[in-house]
C-alpha cells in the first residue's frame, strides 16, 4: 500500500501544495499560450508541444508516485529521481521554447522545500542561471538590466525565506521533542511519586492497625503462656483479650481494604473513640486515662482519623518502649484548631539524640505520626526527658464541617 503523502494530514501543507500546484499550472498554461502565439514555427513545434505535455504529466505523476518527504525528513530516492527528471525535461523545453522560463519558479520551490540547504541552494543557483541565460539569449535590441537582475533577486529572496522557514521548523521540532520528552519524564516522575506515596500510606496504615494488633496479641499470648500452669484464669483472660484484639484488627483490615475510616469512628465521635482506646489500652501495669478539654464539634473525617491513628501509635510506643505505669490522652478543642496530647510517666529519652531520618529510626511509629500530622496540615512536637516521661503533642488547624450522619 502506498504511504500517504505528508500533505494528507496537515491542513497547512495541503493549502501550500494547492497554491504551488495552482501556480505551476497557471505558469505552464501561460508559457504554452505564449509559445503558440509568438514562438511557434518550423518543425520543432510538434516536439515542443510534446515536451509541454510530458513536462505536465511528469509533474502530476510526481505528486502521487514520489511525494515530497515530511518536514525534517531526508528526501527519498524516488523523489530525487522525479525532481531530476522534471528538471531535465524543463531544461530541454527551455532550449526549444524560451517562453517556459517562469515554470522554473514551482521547480525552484520544489527543490528548496524538499531538499536540505546544501543541495537546494546549488539547485536554485543553476535554475536561476538558466533563466538569466535564456532571457539574455532571446532579448531583442538593448539588453534590459531587469532581465539579469530580477531573476537572481527573486531567487535570493525565495532562498532566504524558505531556508529560514526550514531552520525555524527544525528548531520547533527540537523544542517539541524536548517538550514531549519532558512531559514523558514528568509523567514517569509523578507515577514514581504516586507509588512511593501509596507505599508510605500503606506502611503507615499497616503499622497503626495490623502491626500494633499483632504486637499486642504476641504480648498477651506470651503472658498467657507464662501463667498457663500457675494461673489458668489469668491465662484465659489474656486469650480472650487477644481474641478481642484479633476481631478489631480484622475489622480494621476490612475497612482499610475498602478505604474507609477507622472502625472506632464508624459510629462514634472522636472523643468517644479516644475514650474507648484508652479503656482498651489500660491493663495490668499500664493505666490510660482520657480527658476532654472543651467541646468537640463536628470535625473533618480525615482529621479525626489522623488523630485517632496518632493516638494509637503513641500508646503503642508507650506500651512497648517506655516502661510507663500511667498514660493520659488529652483532647483540647478550640474554635479553629484541635490538639491531642499523649503523656506518660515512663523512662523518657534524649530527644536530641533521636535520629531524624526515617530510615535510621528503630521503628516506624514516630515517622508515621509525623507524616499523618503533616498530611493533616498540623504539627507534631515531641518532648521528653530521661526519667521524666514523654509528651507527644499534635496540633491541627481546621474549618468546622456541618454536622452530618456517620456512615459505616
Question: Tens digits of per-residue pLDDT, 188-235?
Answer: 787 787 667 767 766 766 766 677 777 778 888 888 888 888 888 888
Min mean pLDDT across 174-178, 346-350, 354-358 is at 354-358
Mean pLDDT of 50-66: 85
Task: Let me know if residue 137 belongs to a domain.
Answer: yes
pLDDT score at 209:
67
Please determine, for residue 61, whether its predicted confidence score (pLDDT) is greater than 60.
yes
pLDDT score at 303:
87
End residue of a domain, out of 143, 167, 189: 143
Mean pLDDT of 277-295: 88
CB contact at 8 A, 290 and 278: yes
Alpha-helix runs per DSSP H in 115-269? 117-137, 145-206, 212-226, 232-257
Task: Let me know if residue 180 belongs to a domain.
Answer: no
pLDDT score at 403:
42
Task: Let me know if residue 359 belongs to a domain.
Answer: yes
Please determine, for residue 63, whether its predicted confidence score (pLDDT) is greater than 80.
no
pLDDT score at 93:
83
Q: In the predicted model, what is the mean pLDDT of the chain?
A: 79
Cell of residue 207, nine digits: 503499622
Query: pLDDT tens digit string along 103-112?
Result: 777 677 666 6
CA distance 397 to 380: 12
Query: pLDDT tens digit string along 12-31?
Result: 777 877 887 787 788 888 88
Query: pLDDT tens digit string along 101-146?
Result: 877 776 776 666 667 777 778 878 888 888 888 877 777 767 777 7
pLDDT score at 261:
61
CA distance 69 to 51: 27
Please determine, for residue 364, whether its predicted confidence score (pLDDT) is greater than 80.
no
Please determine, for residue 243, whether its predicted confidence score (pLDDT) is greater than 70.
yes
pLDDT score at 390:
93
The DSSP symbol for 351 reads G
Mean pLDDT of 255-267: 66
> How far apart are the two ends of the chain, measured CA to CA in Å?
62
pLDDT score at 326:
92
Mean pLDDT of 59-84: 79
Instruction: State what percent of residues in the chain have pLDDT above 70.
Output: 81
Task: Let me know if residue 265 belongs to a domain.
Answer: no
Cell of residue 308, nine digits: 485517632
CB contact at 8 A, 394 and 253: no
- The pLDDT-based confidence of 41 (bands split at 50, 70, 90) is low
CA distance 112 to 81: 15
Please determine, for residue 6, whether its predicted confidence score (pLDDT) is greater than 50.
no
Q: How many domains does the chain have?
A: 2
Structural domain containing residue 374 = 284-408
Return left, alpha or beta for 387; rule: phi > 0 is left, psi -120 to 50 is alpha, else beta. left
Cell of residue 148, nine digits: 539579469
- The pLDDT-based confidence of 408 (bands split at 50, 70, 90) is very low
Task: Let me know if residue 220 belongs to a domain.
Answer: no
End residue of a domain, out of 124, 143, 162: 143
CA distance 216 to 241: 9
- The pLDDT-based confidence of 258 (bands split at 50, 70, 90) is low
pLDDT score at 4:
47
Please determine, for residue 353, whether its predicted confidence score (pLDDT) is greater than 50.
yes
Task: Let me know if residue 150 belongs to a domain.
Answer: no
Whole-angstrom CA distances from 46 to 32, 43, 49 are 12, 7, 5
Distance of CA 214 to the CA centre of its chain: 40
CATH number at residue 343: 3.30.565.10
Nearest residue to 106 (alpha-carbon basis) of 167, 40, 18: 18
CA distance 233 to 319: 23
Highest mean pLDDT among 5-14, 149-158, 349-358: 149-158
Number of other residues whose CB lies within 10 A of the CB of residue 273? 24
Task: Let me know if residue 292 belongs to a domain.
Answer: yes
Nearest residue to 376 (alpha-carbon basis) of 317, 325, 301: 301
Mean pLDDT of 350-364: 60
Instruction: State what percent of residues in the chain have pLDDT above 90.
Output: 9
Identify which has the larger pLDDT, 34 or 39: 34
Identify which has the larger pLDDT, 248 or 280: 280
End residue of a domain, out of 89, 114, 143: 143
Burial status of residue 33 (CB atoms within 10 A of its CB: 0-12, 13-18, 19 or more): exposed
Strands 337-344 and 379-384: unpaired
Cell of residue 7, nine digits: 500533505
pLDDT score at 260:
55
For the entire predicted model, the pTM comes to 0.44
pLDDT score at 340:
94
Amino acid at each position: 500500500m502506498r504511504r500517504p503523502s505528508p500533505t494528507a494530514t496537515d491542513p497547512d501543507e495541503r493549502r501550500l501544495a494547492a497554491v504551488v500546484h495552482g501556480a505551476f499550472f497557471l505558469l505552464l498554461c501561460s508559457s504554452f499560450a505564449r509559445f503558440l502565439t509568438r514562438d511557434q514555427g518550423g518543425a520543432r513545434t510538434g516536439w515542443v508541444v510534446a515536451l509541454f505535455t510530458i513536462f505536465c504529466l511528469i509533474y502530476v505523476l510526481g505528486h502521487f508516485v514520489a511525494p515530497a518527504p515530511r518536514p525534517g525528513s531526508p528526501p527519498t530516492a524516488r523523489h530525487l529521481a522525479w525532481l531530476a527528471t522534471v528538471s531535465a525535461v524543463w531544461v530541454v523545453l527551455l532550449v526549444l521554447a524560451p517562453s517556459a522560463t517562469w515554470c522554473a519558479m514551482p521547480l525552484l520551490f520544489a527543490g528548496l522545500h524538499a531538499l536540505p540547504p546544501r543541495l537546494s541552494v546549488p539547485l536554485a543557483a543553476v535554475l536561476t542561471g538558466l533563466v538569466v541565460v535564456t532571457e539574455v539569449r532571446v532579448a531583442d535590441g538593448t539588453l534590459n538590466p531587469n532581465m539579469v537582475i530580477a531573476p537572481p533577486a527573486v531567487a535570493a529572496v525565495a532562498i532566504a525565506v524558505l531556508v529560514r522557514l526550514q531552520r525555524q521548523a527544525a528548531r520547533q521540532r527540537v523544542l517539541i521533542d524536548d517538550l514531549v520528552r519532558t512531559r514523558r519524564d514528568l509523567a514517569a516522575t509523578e507515577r514514581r511519586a504516586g507509588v512511593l506515596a501509596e507505599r508510605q500510606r500503606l506502611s503507615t496504615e499497616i503499622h497503626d492497625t495490623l502491626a500494633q494488633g499483632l504486637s499486642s496479641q504476641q504480648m498477651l499470648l506470651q503472658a498467657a503462656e507464662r501463667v498457663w500452669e500457675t494461673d489458668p484464669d489469668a491465662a484465659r483472660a489474656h486469650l480472650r483479650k487477644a481474641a478481642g484484639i484479633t476481631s478489631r484488627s480484622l475489622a480494621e483490615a476490612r475497612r482499610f481494604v475498602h478505604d474507609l475510616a477507622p472502625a472506632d469512628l464508624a459510629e462514634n465521635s472522636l472523643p468517644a473513640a479516644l475514650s474507648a482506646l484508652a479503656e482498651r489500652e489500660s491493663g495490668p501495669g499500664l493505666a490510660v486515662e482520657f480527658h476532654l478539654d472543651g467541646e468537640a464539634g463536628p470535625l473533618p473525617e480525615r482529621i479525626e482519623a489522623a488523630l485517632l491513628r496518632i493516638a494509637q501509635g503513641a500508646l503503642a510506643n508507650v506500651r512497648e518502649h517506655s516502661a510507663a505505669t500511667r498514660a493520659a490522652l488529652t483532647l483540647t478543642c478550640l474554635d479553629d484548631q484541635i490538639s491531642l496530647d499523649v503523656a506518660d510517666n515512663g523512662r523518657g529519652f534524649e530527644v536530641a539524640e533521636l535520629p531524624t531520618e526515617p530510615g535510621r529510626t528503630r521503628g516506624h511509629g514516630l515517622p508515621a505520626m509525623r507524616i499523618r500530622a503533616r498530611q493533616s496540615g498540623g504539627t507534631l512536637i515531641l518532648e521528653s526527658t530521661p526519667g521524666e516521661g514523654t509528651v507527644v503533642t499534635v496540633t491541627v488547624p481546621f474549618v468546622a464541617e456541618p454536622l452530618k450522619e456517620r456512615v459505616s
